[in-house]
Structure formats: C-alpha cells, structure tokens
Amino acid sequence: MLIPEPVQRLIDAFARLPGVGPKTAARLTFYLLRGGEDLALELANALQELKTNTATCPQCFNITSAGRSLCEVCAHPQRDPTLLCVVEEPLDVLALERTGGFQGLYHVLDGALNPIEGIGPDDLRIRELTARVQAGSVQEVILATNPSIEGDATAMYIQQQLAPFGVRLTRLARGLPAGGDLEYADQNTLLRALAGRQNLGD
Amino acid sequence: MLIPEPVQRLIDAFARLPGVGPKTAARLTFYLLRGGEDLALELANALQELKTNTATCPQCFNITSAGRSLCEVCAHPQRDPTLLCVVEEPLDVLALERTGGFQGLYHVLDGALNPIEGIGPDDLRIRELTARVQAGSVQEVILATNPSIEGDATAMYIQQQLAPFGVRLTRLARGLPAGGDLEYADQNTLLRALAGRQNLGD
C-alpha cells in the first residue's frame, strides 16, 4: 500500500534475479529512482535488445550476435577443430577464453545433470555433442564441467557416451588454486592435490 | 570481442548499479539469457514505467504514485500533523512504517550532509523542512537520520536551524539492537547503551 505500484513492480522483478533478495531489490530500485533517468532507461533498452539481438551458435551452442551463421570461435580459421572443450555455460567459455590458453573449439551443454531438479541428459546438448564427435574430426574432448557433484556426474555420463568413438577424453586438473593457502584449502581439494601430485622434474 | 554487443551492453548497465560488480552483472545477464524471456521484458517494462508513473510528494518528498497531490501518508486523515519524523531516504520511511509504531508525518531529506562528496545543506530538503516547521502546526521533530557520522552531523545542523522555532527536537534512541549479543556489540554501541541506560522501574 505504502509503496507506489510501479516501484513495487520493479522491486518484485529485481527480486526474481538469482542472488537478489527483497532488500537488495528495494535498494536497487530506490537507487534508480534517485539516480539519473538514463541508467533506468539504458537498462530497459539493453534488456529489451538482449534476446532479439542475440542467438545461439548452431555448432557449439554458445551465445552469439544475431545474424551470424556460426559464433566467433567456431568461425575462426585459426582455432583447432580437433580439440573440443565441453562446458556447462556460456560464462565458462568466457572464463576459458580470458586465460588465452585454449585454442580449440567449445561445446556448451546448457547446464549439468541434476536428478533432483529434474535435469536429465535430454535437457542438455549431449546428443549434439555425440553427433559432433561422431562426425570424425575431433581427437580430444576436454570435459570442463564444474568440479562439483553435478559436474562430475555429467562428465562421467558423457565419458560413457563418447567411449565408443575412441577419442581422447580428459578432465581439467584438480588441486590447489593459484594464490591459495594450503592452510585454508578444504579437505577434498587437499586430497585431490595429494592424489594428483606431480614430479618436480617434469 | 567474444561477448556479443547486446550482452556486453546489459552487463555494463547492470555493473553501474550499486553493489553489483562486473562478475555479478555477467551472472545476472546470462541468467536472463538462459531464463524465460518474460523476466527480461518484465524488468524492462518496470524500469521504463518507474519514473513516468511515480512522483515526489510535494509536502514530505517521499516517493508516491504519479497523479496524487499528496502521498498516502500526508493525505491520511488519521496521521498526527504535530509530529514530524525527518529521515534521509524513502527506504527509511518504509522501515519506520513497517514497525507500525509511528503515526505522525515524514520529511525526506534526500540524503545527509557529506562535505567529502560535496553534499551541503542546499542539496537536501532542509529549507523545505524549516518552512514546514515555521508554518506552525508541528510540535515535535524526530531527527531520524542514520546513526552515522553524516547522519549525526545532519541532525546537529537541523537542530541549529530549527532552534528558533521552539519545537521539541528528539533523536532516535541509541543502544543495543533487539536480539543482539552484548559480547559482539561494538565499542560505540556499548558506550551509547551505557550512557543511555534506563531505570528498570520506569
């Protein structure tokens, strides 16, 4: 009653975003109310054009600009088509691209297996992945799903699906994060780091 | 380069919100990309209508629906016009209204004095407050600015401005928060709680 309807409506919309509770939603809304009109309108326009001006790459299923036949990575002539990196989300592609250390192609699954939330193999782009590998040019598939229970389960499932094709299957290394502190590493990370210890001479 | 322009544009717009860094902005954007189109559009519409359908109450400067002459609190016949509560922001009005313990009217300053950020008395609704008090019906002004350096300075400044009018000036009590733990209270809070201790018989 006390909050004007247009204000309450924006608070409700913000609160539907992940990690934004009702208090944060109210704070953002009142910031926009006090702040210049341009930010609210810039946000509104960017939101409206988000879906209309973007598309999904038909090969790797990453986000790309509308009107392209393939995304920039897939269309790049210098990328190595024999190396395929399987990730859960478009944001994972960004993180890997930022390292500058990967020159192959990607395959975005659009999530990970999660029986509790009802996400099965058919909800992910696993059939499309199998088809890409079956097509023949891929020699190594890096299963770069998250180091979580769901990510591990997804990697294991894909491993089984791709086993018949005789490609090399790898998983990102697990261990201590760079700049991390051994003292604060959790048990699982430390166990993985121990199990995966490397010879100093290598 | 790798992020399509419409996606980057929304990330940049989100990142201009307070408390939203580039990583959170990217997370929100990709959530909207994956999620249903309705939330992105609902947000866009709510943002567009935020300013056009809201107005500032000409008496208390709280946010209200466009087209009203006074806000709901100012226009309410049961509210006590002799009691005026001065707050920094519209969100403070909401917090006080939620308590159900205040039946007077409000005055929203639109901030607090902050010399470092260049916010002086003329940037706040202090002249309008003086005029309201001068008009004569107000008997008590509760200075409910934040218990911060800026809030205290603002309250002190307003106290000086309103002194000639002979109204009662009060400030919200300072002490231990309800449900708090004495052991974890900071020094200043504890000092205030000690100084403001109350007789048990009262």
Segment B132-157, tens digit of pLDDT = 999 989 999 999 999 889 999 999 99
Residues 6+ apart with CB under 8 A from B118: none
The amino acid at A40: A
DSSP code string of A150-185: HHHHHHHHHHHHHGGGT-EEEE---SPPTT--GGG-
Residues 6+ apart with CB under 8 A from B179: none
Give residue B51's pLDDT: 81
Give contacts of A53 with chain B, Cβ < 8 Å: 4-6
Give contacts of A94 with chain B, Cβ < 8 Å: 2-3, 26
| Residue in A2, A5, A50 nearest the CB of B32 | A50
On whether the CB atoms of residues A66 and A35 are closer than 8 A, the answer is no
Give residue B120's pLDDT: 94
Pick from A99-103, B59-63, B82-86: least confident: A99-103
On whether the CB atoms of residues A28 and B64 are closer than 8 A, the answer is no
Give residue A130's pLDDT: 96
| CB-based contact B48 A44, cutoff 8 Å | yes
Give A150 to chain B, closest Cα distance, Å: 18
Give residue B202's pLDDT: 54
Give residue A184's pLDDT: 81
| Residue in A3, A10, A34 nearest the CB of B94 | A3
Give residue A201's pLDDT: 64
Give residue B179's pLDDT: 79
Give residue B191's pLDDT: 83
What's the whole-number average pLDDT of chain B? 89
**What's the alpha-carbon Rg for chain A, to the nearest Å?**
21
For residue B198, pLDDT over 80 is answered with no
Fold of B5-52: Helicase, Ruva Protein; domain 3 (1.10.8)
Which residue of B12, B45, B47, B117 to mutate against A (max A Cβ within 10 Å)?
A: B47
Q: Domain boundaries in chain B?
A: 5-52, 56-171
On whether the CB atoms of residues A12 and B59 are closer than 8 A, the answer is no
For residue B37, pLDDT over 80 is answered with no
| CB-based contact A43 B91, cutoff 8 Å | no
Q: What percent of chain B has pLDDT over 90?
A: 53
Span B102-125, pLDDT tens digits: 999 999 999 999 999 999 999 999
Give A54 to chain B, closest Cα distance, Å: 7
* Domain A56-171, CATH number (from 2.60.40.420, 3.40.1360.10, 3.10.105.10, 3.30.43.10): 3.40.1360.10
Higher pLDDT, B1 or B112: B112
Higher pLDDT, A181 or B168: B168
Look at residues B199, B137, B202, B148 and name the one whose alpha carbon lies nearest to residue B172.
Answer: B148
Q: What percent of chain B has pLDDT over 70?
A: 98
| Reported ipTM | 0.77
Give contacts of A28 with chain B, Cβ < 8 Å: 17-18, 20
pLDDT < 50 regions, chain A = none
| CB-based contact B27 A40, cutoff 8 Å | no
